[in-house]
Every structure is written in structure tokens, then in C-alpha cells.
Amino acid sequence: MTIPVPQIGWGGTVRGLPPLDRCRVMGVINVTPDSFSDGGSFADAESAVQHGLQLLAEGADLLDVGGESTRPGAARVSAAEEQARVAPVVARLAAAGAVVSIDTMRASTAEVALRNGAQIVNDVSGGLADPDLPRLVAAAGVPYVVMHWRAHSAHMQDLAHYDDVVAEVRAELQDRLDRVIAAGVDAEQVVLDPGLGFAKNAEHNWALLADLAALNDLGRPLLIGASRKSFLGGLLSHGDQLRPVLDRDDATAAVTTLAAAAGAWAVRVHDVRASADAVRVVARVAAAESRPDPLGGSS
Ligand code: PMM
């Protein structure tokens, strides 16, 4: 087996975050009543914090806290509601020593989260939803996850049309990267994300996963978010019954293995333990490959 070990550290480096010799695992904490994968489970601050601490214990390197569901068809919540959901959770997890990322498309929410100790901004709109957000990130000088996105969740699936999904997502990510740099963001702090499931159907998601090298080519670290998404449910369906959301974690860990082997900087997952194990296995195999054969032999 040949794993193309990234030569410059796993997935490249992001100014402001320590280097690591393997793909990172970002644990998801949705403080929402309606996210598709875990909606309602951690809707109050106390259970969200306890969940975050559990994900850290299971090996999460980063925690991504969000207060607005982005599932297909979801309506937006007000900024005030979003901030009331995330602020106490970010504050307590940051105080516990976690590297917290705030999953928001709003500058005002990112500002509240950064004030409460968040260290990374994860913007699923890639700077398109709120032009103040790239400017805020630039002023704060924090790492910025810029995801491929075409429209808000209510109608994003109407825009899931591509002639060549890899080439188009790559070109649009390049455009988002150029725009956030023009807004003052430090290019060395940008992480790119193909946005699996956002204005994409299952075929599009599989095609993107099959060609992460084309996205790596953009020269910035990659974050991959496949966890529990419906394209996994469709792959594992029985008849017309999608595999239930909470039974998609083994498939998620398989995607983690592939993404890590392709040199991804991080995976964003709900079930941390299996992915934390998977990224370590991939890094260990890569380390063995890069050493001389201990037997000096032919096989
Ligand atoms: N997916 C969701 C939410 N935030 N952020 C990034 N960077 N990448 C993703 O793929 C992504 C995200 C939707 O999934 P969820 O509702 O389970 O959190």
C-alpha cells in the first residue's frame, strides 16, 4: 500500500495552530434542536459542554461548536438565538483547554465566540453569506475554514448542478480563497473544505472524495466533513430505506481513513473515537513507509 505522505506535515500548516504529524479530528457539537445528525441531543448548554468534554476524552483535536442547523431545507435562526446557544458552550470548552472552532456564517456570532475563547472560525458559506465575516477574521488574525457553498440551506439543493463537479468546486474554492485574501485574511490561515452535501448530491460527493488530490492542489490544508451525511445513508440503504443517521459512523470512519490517506488536514465528525483511531493508523502506516525496510529485504 502506498500512502502519499504529505511532505510538509499532515495537510500543511495553518498559522496560529500547532503542527501535527497526522490528520486532525474535529468533533462536532451542534447546539441546535434540528441538526440532521444529532439535532436535539445537545440543545442545552450543559449537555453540549458534557458532550464536548467526552469528545475531547475520545481524542478530538478540535471542537466545532455551531448554533444554526445547515441541513438541507433548514430555516435560519436569528443572530441573537444563535449567539445565546453557542456563547456559554464555547466559553466553557475553551476554559477547559479545548481548541474551539465556531461554526457560523455571521460576523456577529463569530465575534461573540472569539470573545468567549474560540480560536478558529468555520464559515460554511466561505465568506459569501456575510461580507463582514472575512473582515472580522482578518482583523482577529485567526484560522478560517472556507467551505464550498452556493446558497443558504433552504434552496441549496436547487443549485446541485455541475458539468464537472471536481473542476467547478476547485475553481469556486479558488475564487473564495482569492476573495477572503482580498478582504485581508492571511492566506496561511485558510483551510479549504469541499462542502460535501452543500449544493451537492451523492454522486457529486463521491466524485469529490475520489479526487481530493485536485483540491490539495489549491495549496491550502483541507477539511473534510462527511460525517453521517445522507450520501452514506444512501450507500448503505436497504431497499428505499436509508441507513439511519446514527448508524453511519462506521462508514464515516472509512471516509476518515481515505481522507487522511489523501493528506487531509482534518476531518469533521460526530463520532470521534473511531476517526481518532483511524487517523493514527494512517499516520503509522505512512511513517513505516517512509522508513527504510528494517529487513533490507525484497518482500
Ligand atoms: N457540515 C455541516 C456543518 N458544518 N462545516 C464544515 N467546515 N464542513 C462541513 O462539511 C460541514 C460544516 C453539516 O453537518 P452537521 O449538521 O452534522 O453539523
pLDDT tens digits, one per residue of 4-42? 555 445 667 899 999 999 999 999 999 988 666 666 677
pLDDT in tens, 46-98: 999 999 999 999 999 999 999 998 877 788 899 999 999 999 999 999 999 99
With a 6 Å cutoff on the Cβ, whether 146 touches ligand 1 is no
CB 93 near ligand 1, within 6 Å: no
Q: In terms of C-beta density within 10 A (0-12 exposed, 13-18 middle, 19 or more buried), how is residue 206 classed? A: middle
Enzyme catalytic residues: 229, 268
Q: Is 262 domain-assigned?
A: yes
Strands of the sheet with 266-269, listed across from one edge:
190-193, 144-147, 120-123, 100-103, 62-66, 24-30, 266-269, 223-224
Under DSSP, the state recorded for 157 is: G
Q: What is the reported pLDDT for 1?
A: 56
- Residue 8 falls inside a structural domain: no
Distance from the CA of 286 to the center of ligand 1, in angstroms?
A: 28
Residue 35 CB less than 6 A away from ligand 1: yes
- Quick count: other Cβ atoms within 10 Å of Cβ 207? 17
Q: Which three cell numbers stand for residue 277?
A: 483511531
Q: What is the reported pLDDT for 70?
A: 84
Q: Could you tell me if residue 189 is inside a domain?
A: yes
Measured in Å, residue 161 CA sits from the centre of ligand 1 at 20
Q: Is residue 140 a part of any domain in this protein?
A: yes
**Structural domain count, the chain:** 1
Q: 188: CA distance to ligand 1 center in Å?
A: 22
The model's pTM: 0.94
**297 has pLDDT over 60:** no
Report the pLDDT value the prediction gives residue 154, as an integer from 0 to 100: 87
Domain annotation covers residue 277: no
Q: Is 285 exposed, middle or buried (0-12, 13-18, 19+ CB in 10 A)?
A: middle
Ligand 1 mutation pick, 133, 228, 268, 275, max ligand atoms within 8 A of CB: 268
CA 275 – ligand 1 centroid, Å: 16
Place of cell 475563547: 117
| Spatial separation of the C-alpha atoms in residues 38 and 28, rounded to whole Å | 9
Is residue 3 assigned to a domain?
Answer: no
Does position 139 have pLDDT exceeding 80, yes or no? yes
Q: How far is CA 102 from CA 19, 137, 161, 247, 251, in A?
A: 20, 12, 29, 26, 26
Residue 36 Cβ contacting ligand 1 at under 6 Å: yes
pLDDT of residue 33: 80
Average pLDDT over residues 251-260: 97
Residue 187 has pLDDT above 50, yes or no: yes
Q: What pLDDT, in 10s, does the model give residues 98-123?
A: 999 999 999 999 999 999 999 999 99
Closest CA to 213 of 261, 141, 165, 270: 261
User: 19, exposed or middle or buried, with CB in 10 Å at 0-12, 13-18, 19+?
Assistant: exposed
User: From atom 10 of ligand 1, which residue's Cα is the shortest distance away?
Assistant: 225
CA 71 – CA 76 distance, rounded (Å): 10
Range of the domain at 75: 26-270
Residue 281 lies in a domain: no
CB of 67 shorter than 6 A to ligand 1: no
At 121, which CATH number?
Answer: 3.20.20.20
Classified as helix, coil or strand, 226 is coil
Of all protein residues, the one whose alpha carbon is nearest to atom 2 of ligand 1 is 70
- Whose CA is closest to atom 1 on ligand 1? 225
CB 6 near ligand 1, within 6 Å: no
Q: Which residues contact 14 (CB under 8 A, 6 or more apart)?
A: 143, 188, 189, 190, 191, 221, 265
Is residue 153, in this structure, part of any structural domain at all?
yes
- CB of 196 within 6 A of ligand 1: the answer is yes
Element (H, E) at 283: helix 272-289
